[in-house]
Structures are given as C-alpha cells and as structure tokens.
A and B are shown apart, each in its own frame.
Chain A
C-alpha cells in the first residue's frame, strides 16, 4: 500500500473518530452507551436520546458536508487560479452568497434555512462570474494577482451593500449576525437534504476536474499543447466551486478558513497531484469543521463558540506557520 493511500485510510479513520466524538461530547453529559442506543434504538421519551438525535446528529452531518465542500472548493480554486491565497472567502464567493441571503431575508422575508439555499447558490454563482470576468480583463486571461484583486474589490462592494441593508433594518441584522459567524447549530436535517444533491454533483465534478487541474498547473500553453480543453476545464471547475460553496454557505454560513488552510496542509503530504489533494481535502475538511464545532462546544461552557470562529482561531496559526516555512511565493 503506497504512502498516499495509507494517509487516505488514516484520514477516513479520523473522520469516523471525530463523528463519534461529536456525537458523544457536548454541554450535556451523556454516557457513550446511551449515545449508541440513541442512534440504533431511539426512544422518543428519553431526553438524552432527543439531544443526540435532534441536536448532535444534524450539526455533525452539517459539519462533515460543509467542511468537505469548502475544503474541496478551496483546493479547486487554488489550482484553477494558481493562486495560493485562493479561498471561497477571499475570492468573493462567500460574500456573493451572503449578499443574496441578506436580500432574501430583508425583501422577501425568508426565515428558514431551506429558503436561504437558493439565494446562496445564486449569489455564489453571480460573484464567481463577476470576479472571473473582472479578473480576466480585456485580455481574457486572469492572473493570480488580478483575480485576487478582483475578489477583494467585489467583496468590498458587496460588504458595502450588505452593511447598508443591515443599517436600515434591525431584524435582518439580528438574523444575519448569527448566520454570518458560521454556526452549525439550529439547522434542521430537512435543509441538509435540499443541499445534498448539489453537493454530490459538486464533488463528482471535482473528481472529474482534478486531472484537468494537473494539466492546467503546467501552464496554459503546455496544457493547450497536451490537448486540454482549457475553457471546458475552467467552466467545470467554476460550476463545482459554485455548487460546493453555495451549498456549504447555505447550511453553515460563510466559513472562511477551511478552503484556504486545508489544501495547504494537505499539499505537504500529497505533493502537487490534484487528484490526491482534493481527495485528502475532502476528508480533512470534514474533520476540521466537525472538530472545530466540538471544541466550540467544550471551551466556553455553558455557552458555545460558533464553529466558524473556532476554525478561524485554529486555522490562522496553521496558515501562518505554513507561510513562514514555505519558500516565498511557492504554492
């Protein structure tokens, strides 16, 4: 068994581990056998069972899905733009999703998360197209610098509009501030079922795109020489990004760090092959977000820290360490 396959198996074991931890630990002390019973033989009258099934299971599922989706999306973005700073947050995709969700809350009175979904997709798609179009410019060729600038500029425009709406509307601010910190709590599994098909398509596209990203990484001219259809590769990658980011953002809020940090960490073990990078990212992203959620539950009892906040505090030091260790400008 090669080293990379072994790593994948270890990560899969890690996913199982964090799922068990996530189900077992929380503000309320529940014995592990009771947790197992709650899953296998639920008793509707037992409060402990209710906590596990109605609170811990949904947030674990959401953490797994959103974490995996954001990490894979970040990996695709970094490959597509050949930009180490690429992240759904930094390239404005999350901001686009946020804007449309805010507009939906304010002007259409959407309150259920299952309603956010469509707005998040539309916003993520709009922002991706806009950032790419602006970053490409007249020459039609985006560079890492222009794309990142375009992402920052689009994010700033969108943030201005969001703030304008929030300042005029107290109710929206009240909903938005809880959604925007990236919480896995308070979502129902029914919301998740709406999103799952989109995420699955996104993951399948990611698997298809991975090989193309390897060719793109050689540079456009070489890729074209090898017979790679560059436009097709970019379009597929963009669709995957929109589906993954839109889906993840609608269930977990705009969590920024997973997409940036996970592919960076993973690359140290897998090397530059995107098929491995995306597969590792899929698993490590899920682990990271669920683990962040568990930590958030335990550190400030009896209240909780939102997973998005924990991710930021876990991710930033890791990212800084990576940046310090790597050679300047190296991906």
Chain B
C-alpha cells in the first residue's frame, strides 16, 4: 500500500471510531435526559415506556413531556451543526458560521419584530424567523458576489450585515414594554422548554427533507475542497454546486432557528471540534457533536441551577461551547492551526 492509501485508511478507521464513540455518548445523554428529572424513571421502566409497555404516569412524563423536547434537541443540534460545518468548509473560513455572519441574527430580528410589533406567537413567529434568515443570507450572497464567492469577502459582508441587524434588534427591544422585551430575549437565546409534538413534526419534516440533499451533495463538497480548478477538472459545476450547498446550509440554519431560536455557538463550534477529532471535513462527526452539545446543554439547563431554576438552553451552549473553543485555541500546538 502506498503512503497515501495508508494515511487514508487510518483516517477512515479513526473517523469510524470517533463516530461510534460520539453516537454512544449521544445515546447515553438521551437516556439520561429522558430518565432523570423532578420525577426520575429507572432504566427498565424507561425502556418499557419507550416500547409502549409503561404505566400511564411514565408514559405521560416521558412520551408527552421529555421525548418531544429531546427529539427537538436532536433535530436542531443536527441542523445547526451541519449548517455551520457546510458554511465553514465552503467558504474556507472558521468564522463563516451562520451565527457569526448575521444569518441567525436576521432570523432573530425578524422573529422579535413579529413578537413585539405584530404581537404574533407560535408558528407565525417561526415563519418570520425562517423568512428573516433567508432574506439576510441572500442579501449577503448577492452583496459579496463579484465574479465568484470568496470566503473572506463573504465573512466581511456578513459581519457588516450582522451589525446592522443587531442594531435593529436593539432598537426593537428599547421600544417595547420591558416584560415583552424579556419574552423576546428568551426567544433570542433559544429555548427548548415546553416543546410540543406538533412543533417537532414541522421541524422534523423540514430538516428531514434537507438531510438527503446534503448527502447527495456531499461528494461535490469534497471535490470543492480540492480547489476550484481541480473540482472543475473533475466535472463539478463549481458555482452551481456552491450555491446549492450554501442554500441547503442556510435552509438548515433557518429551520432550526425558526423552531427553537438561535441556539448560540452550536453551528460555530461543531465543525472545528470535529476537525480536531478527525482531520479534514467530516459532516457526520460534526452533526453528532452538534446533537451531543444541544442534548447535553438542554439537560444541564434543566438541572444545573439549584432550586429548580431553568435557563434557556442557548445560555448553556454558549457557556460550554465557547470555553471549549477558547481552550482549543489556547492549547493548539502550532500557529495557524484551529
């Protein structure tokens, strides 16, 4: 075997191990968040309930209260992480994640407008959030287009738009009643509390449509990584492929934000963490890290603070995701890595 083949094989086996470990961790955390709470359920009871053999009390608590919340956490973790990883690898810049370049902020501003000015709630707010993300993303795309898309230009334009959107948000918050502003703030942080099956269904359908598209486009992404000229040589229509992939990433971020609010930092950290575990682009590990992050954070958000105080999950993802990235940056071995 050649050196390259050996390296590829060892990367594959490493990727497989990492994926399995992450998957196991997700399972453990899911079981924990289903079983543990103000009313805790034993593991046999939990399994019995999940296969439909539990008593009515367990059934209500697990299937009606905890399972929808967990499912939502899994869905949005997956969507945010994939969106972030796609953005970062397409634009070749770790800063190009939808939460830093204003796309989720656009969703927030639009949703907060719906909450505070139009007095809407529920699915209408989600619709506004989705539209806001799309409008901001296409604005950034159009403004940064100059016979092609360059990662640096995209990030800079995105940062500019993000500032503008952020100040609009600030304006909306100062003009509202302070209690409404607090409600809007909870949405802006991202919260999973009180998730209903109906909401899960909407998120599941929309994200479920997008995942196969990502799988279909993944080979093109891998070729784009080799550089535009090489990809073109391999028969990829570079600009079309990039627009499609970016479009899918925006839609993923928009769906997740519409469902639960812009949970901080998941899109930003999942990719870099995955890259540290498995070199190169690795969508599956990124997605699993996103899921693990949101599920763990949601569990912590319910049980971490004494006295049963619950905080929105976005606070926790910021508080655990960001220090991890700080640590990662501070302990990196050489310059330019990370």
Contacts and interface: CB of A to CB of B under 8 A. Distances in A.
Given A138-B330, A152-B100, A316 B164 contact: yes
Interface of A: 84-85, 89-90, 133-135, 137-139, 141, 143, 145-146, 148-150, 152-154, 156-157, 159-161, 163-164, 166-167, 170, 173-174, 177-178, 180-182, 256-257, 305-306, 308-309, 311-313, 315-317, 319-320, 323-324, 328-329
Interface stretch (B61-69, B203-211, B244-252, B312-320): B312-320
Given A149-B94, A152-B268, A153-B326, A173 B181 contact: yes
Contacts of A174: 178
B163 A256 contact: yes
A119 to B, nearest CB: 20
B143 interface: yes
Given A149-B338, A178-B174, 12 more contacts: A84-B156, A134-B329, A150-B329, A156-B322, A160-B319, A161-B319, A166-B185, A167-B315, A180-B170, A182-B167, A182-B170, A320-B160
B174 to A, nearest CB: 5
B167 A143 contact: no
Contact of B170 (A181, A323, A328): A181
B160 A316 contact: yes
B143 A145 contact: no
A319 B146 CA distance: 15
Nearest to B178: A174
A320 B161 CA distance: 8
A195 to B, nearest CB: 22
A139 B171 contact: no
A165 B336 CA distance: 36
Interface string B73-114: 000000000000000000000110000100000000000000
A177 B336 contact: no
Interface string B129-149: 000000000000001101000
A321 to B, nearest CB: 9
B325 interface: yes
Interface string B326-338: 1001111111101
Chain A binding site: helix, strand, loop or mixed by DSSP? helix
Nearest to A130: B326
Interface centre among B100, B163, B322, B325 (most CB of A within 10 A): B163
Contacts of A313: 164, 167
Interface string B53-66: 00000000000000
Contacts of B332: 137-138, 146
B95 A135 contact: no
21 contacts: A89-B163, A137-B329, A146-B335, A149-B94, A149-B338, A152-B95, A157-B323, A163-B188, A166-B182, A177-B170, A177-B173, A177-B174, A177-B178, A180-B170, A181-B173, A182-B170, A312-B163, A313-B164, A320-B157, A323-B153, A329-B152
